[in-house]
Amino acid sequence: MTPIALCFPLRERHGVPEVLLGLKKTGFGAGRMVGLGGHLEPGENAAEAACRELGEESGLVTTPDDVDLAGVVDFHFPARPEWSMATSLFIPRRWSGTEGETDEIAPAWFPHAHLPVAQMWADAEHWLHRMLAGQRQHTVVVLADDNTTVRATWSVPLTDRSPS
**Which domains can be identified in the chain, with CATH numbers?**
2-157 (3.90.79.10)
Q: Is the pTM of this model over 0.85?
A: yes
Average pLDDT estimate for 69-87: 96
Which residue did the predictor score with more confidence, 164 or 99? 99
Look at residue 160 and tell me whether its pLDDT is greater than 80: no
pLDDT of 33: 97
The three-state secondary structure class of 161 is: coil
Look at residue 68 and tell me whether its pLDDT is greater than 80: yes
